[in-house]
Amino acid sequence: MQRALVDLPWSMRSGASAHCLRLTNVWRSLNTETMHAGDDASHALDALRRIVRSLRTSAHRAENSVGLSGAQLFVLHELGDTPAASLAELASRTLTDPSSVSVVVARLVARRLVARTPSSTDRRRRELSLTAAGRALCARAPMPVQFGLIAAVRSLSPTTRKALRTSMEALAAAMGIDAEPPTMFFEESPRPASSRRRRG
């Protein structure tokens, strides 16, 4: 580039130098924007990693201590605080889709930790509460991190919560998973105790 500029007449050389300078400045600007975008992406992923790690650690603690998934323990504690008048109410309290929380409730009912009883005011509706076994297990079980996550989201300002919703929905859409069902965090079937002993 410098050799080519030397071979040009002075008037043309001056204009070419200015053009090269402008191109250099544009390149530096784009490079800076790319670096900043990389920094933003890195910080966003770091925050997401911390949240996922916290949820995963809590789920493992629940499984190892009481043999429940993190989602099952979350629902158990929620019902331990206050029984739910309906599945829809429980879904609202846990900020979860009704179809997702119904799967968790069904598993807790199958383990006789949660009871479904007809409502005294509406026989079509089933109230949800802990059984004696559910209360005993809940009393010795660790507190799931989902309560802290919900409290943290609710503590954000309305503007920040809306921006968070928009960003997370945009991220899910960009990944092509926005149509996937929003199941509860780490709702996986716990491994049998015998399997854990064999693997250990």
Question: Tens digit of pLDDT for each residue in 131-148?
Answer: 999 999 999 999 999 999
Burial of 82 from C-beta contacts in 10 A (0-12 / 13-18 / 19+) = exposed
Of the listed ranges 11-15, 114-118, 161-165, the least confidently predicted one is: 11-15
Q: Which helix (H) or strand (E) holds 130?
A: strand 126-130
pLDDT in tens, 73-84: 999 999 998 999
Question: Domains in the chain, ordered, with CATH?
Answer: 47-144 (1.10.10.10)
Is residue 21 very low, low, confident or very high in pLDDT (cuts 50, 70, 90)? Answer: low
Is residue 120 very low, low, confident or very high in pLDDT (cuts 50, 70, 90)? Answer: confident
CA dist., res. 181 & res. 193, Å (int): 29
Record the pTM.
0.70
Residue 4: predicted pLDDT: 47
User: Would the pLDDT of 197 be above 90?
Assistant: no
Residue in 70, 26, 37 with CA at minimum distance from that of residue 184: 70
130: β partners = 114
User: Would the pLDDT of 7 be above 90?
Assistant: no
CB 126 within 8 A of CB 117: yes
Q: How large is the angle between the packed helices 70-81 and 132-140, nearest 10 degrees? A: 110
